[in-house]
Amino acid sequence: MYAYDELDRTLINERVSEFRDQVKRRLSGELTEDEFKMLRLQNGVYLQLHAYMFRVAIPYGTLSSKQLRTLAHVARRYDRGYGHFTTRQNIQYNWIKLSELPDALADLAEVGIHAMQTSGNNMRNVTSDQWAGVAPGEIEDPRIWSEILRQHTTLHPEFSFLPRKFKIAITASDHDRAAIKIHDIGLRLYRNAEGETGFEVLVGGGLGRTPFIAKTIKPFVSRRDILSYVEAILRVYNQYGRRDNIYKARIKILVHELGIEKFAAEVEEEWEHIRDSALTLEDSVIEEIRSRFSYPAYDKLPHMPEELKKTAHDPHFEAWRRNSVFTHKVQGYSIVTLSLKPVGGPPGDATADQMDAVADLADKYSFGEIRVGHEQNLVLPHVAKRDLPALWKALDKIGLATPNINLVSDIIACPGLDYCSLANARSIPIAQELTRRFANHETANMIGRLHINISGCINACGHHHVGHIGILGVEKNGEEFYQITIGGRADENAQMGTLIGPAVPYGDVADVIEDIVEAYLALRARPDELFVDTVKRLGVEPFRERVYATR
């Protein structure tokens, strides 16, 4: 957990009263929509198809049980009793009234939650690994660095009017759970050959209309220099970024147009001016931030407690344990992922009742802490193994024990045309149909790890480019069609998927995906050859043939 200081609390509260005044002036007509739009966007308020949408930040995906209860309260009191967890460690409410938004913000502020920089052309929520601080083999907790960057860039005048939005993600593990290669800046914390910890810095990743995998701009930047180095990148971007054309304004386009070497040289030159400035991070500053993160007082517990042995004969429990329970860095504890992908449900949605129940379970079994991951699932990061059977029973009761983590029905999907004013086509009903087709756990398990990502338009909020199977909604003569790509991935080996052929109509999508999966099962070299690896080995051709032979 992270304890905010007085400065943060004052800032958040001031922001709420400022926005209350702005809303009042908007409703009385003193402010026009043109004048108000930027102000509401600075507070996470979009206008969608049916209503205002309100996006709230969950910095580096860490929540206390008290904060989660407040998120539940906002869903219940000001919305329709549910919220949507997004791919960037935010939560979105879909039905908020403008007139009630200041009250919702004030309630959130009481627990240190806000919506600053969840939209607009500024530094967005600095995301991180949802297993930060508990993953075995991690170099150190990457959230310390998310927090340092968050503090430095929040409401920083120089970074409040960037050419376009700017997203940073940080990981400190070999396996990248934060999708750093599709961010404007990706930071990988590691220890170099000399034993010093620092960052590999990647730049220019992003999806949307013009997708790019981030490139390494500097293989090693020491910890003390990371702030000045990131600032140097932002300055070069601020100076050269294309403000004239919204489609070319992201840093990925600048990096692509200049080439990574030239861009790196510009950054290097800028960095020379500022690297030995106040931006240098002395150890004391890092320690100060580190000390604000608190970790549970873990007990010394056995690796294999009696409670676990006793329940091992229950096949339902075992299926869940094998799928959703992961190794913790401390013996006797586990990391537990809570699937927000029930069969037939909208991916990433949780009801207020579920949020309250998870908060209670976190208090009982996870030292009051909850995490949110970019895969749109929740995590209880510190569960004693002896508590797993009891936790499982409780989760099952509230519909959060679907054993499908990383399987074909653990689908990442954006809101699509059911909510989003930019959409071409619906995403959620496609996801729901697919979860029904692959509802059988044995089948899904036999298929193995397979990530399906769905976006309702080219903005790629559902990360379709990097789905093992990506589904993109397009429009043809007023009808919903979907382009299908295969072979993408979002992890440390990130790459874009390849289009398999012409777009297919709404009603065919689930059949096409079933065909692709059947083709994979017939083609894979061994049962443990993953879908993406089969695609890598054989290319898209055999899949294309299978899908289009009869269409």
Partner 1 sequence: MTSPLQQKIKITGPSMVTANRTSDGIVIYRTAQQGWSASLSDAAVVRTSDEARALLAEANADDVGAVGAYIAPVELKDSGEIKPGNLRERIRSKGLTIDLLPA
Choose the one of ligand HEM, partner 1, ligand SF4, none that binds residue 52, judging by a C-beta under 5 to 8 angstroms depending on kind. Answer: partner 1
414 binds ligand HEM (CB under 6 A): yes
51 binds ligand HEM (CB under 6 A): no
Q: What angle do CA 206, 174, 407 make, to 5 degrees?
A: 70
Q: Which is nearer to ligand SF4, 456 or 488 (CB)?
A: 456
Contacts of 227 (CB under 8 A, 6+ apart): 148, 149, 152, 279, 280, 281
SS (H, E, C) 8-72: HHHHHHHHHHHHHHHHHHHHCCCCCHHHHHHHHHCCCEEECCCCEEEEEECHHHEEEHHHHHHHH
Contacts of 164 (CB under 8 A, 6+ apart): 121, 241, 246, 249, 250, 251
207 binds ligand HEM (CB under 6 A): yes
Taking alpha carbons only, the member of 462, 516, 509, 510 closest to residue 487 is 516
Choose the one of ligand SF4, partner 1, ligand HEM, none that binds residue 454, judging by a C-beta under 5 to 8 angstroms depending on kind. Answer: none
CB of 254 to ligand SF4, least distance (A): 22
Residues that bind partner 1 (CB under 8 A): 26-29, 32-33, 47-52, 82, 95-99, 342-346, 349, 351, 399, 417-419, 421-424, 426, 428-429, 432, 475, 478, 480
Choose the one of partner 1, ligand HEM, ligand SF4, none that binds residue 342, judging by a C-beta under 5 to 8 angstroms depending on kind. Answer: partner 1
Q: Which is nearer to partner 1, 182 or 458 (CB)?
A: 458
Q: What angle do CA 25, 28, 32 make, to 5 degrees?
A: 65
CB of 378 to ligand HEM, least distance (A): 14
Taking alpha carbons only, the member of 59, 112, 129 closest to residue 337 is 129
Q: Which is nearer to partner 1, 186 or 346 (CB)?
A: 346
Choose the one of ligand SF4, ligand HEM, partner 1, none that binds residue 456, judging by a C-beta under 5 to 8 angstroms depending on kind. Answer: ligand SF4
CB of 283 to ligand HEM, least distance (A): 33
- The structure tokens listed for 477 are 């003569």
Give CA–CA dist 477/473, Å, rounded.
13
Q: Which is nearer to ligand HEM, 70 or 453 (CB)?
A: 453
Choose the one of ligand HEM, ligand SF4, partner 1, none that binds residue 87, judging by a C-beta under 5 to 8 angstroms depending on kind. Answer: ligand HEM
Task: Please give the radius of gyration of the chain, using alpha carbons only, rounded to the nearest integer.
Answer: 23
Enumerate the H helices of 79-114 as residue ranges: 101-109
Q: Which is nearer to ligand HEM, 120 or 389 (CB)?
A: 120
Which CA distances in Å does 325 have to 249, 380, 548? 41, 10, 39
467 binds ligand HEM (CB under 6 A): no
49 binds ligand HEM (CB under 6 A): no
For ligand HEM, which residue of 197, 459, 495, 498 counts as binding (CB under 6 A)? Answer: 459
CB of 53 to partner 1, least distance (A): 9
122 binds ligand HEM (CB under 6 A): no
For ligand HEM, which residue of 26, 40, 114, 164 counts as binding (CB under 6 A)? Answer: 164
- Which DSSP symbol is given to 201? E
CB of 422 to ligand SF4, least distance (A): 4
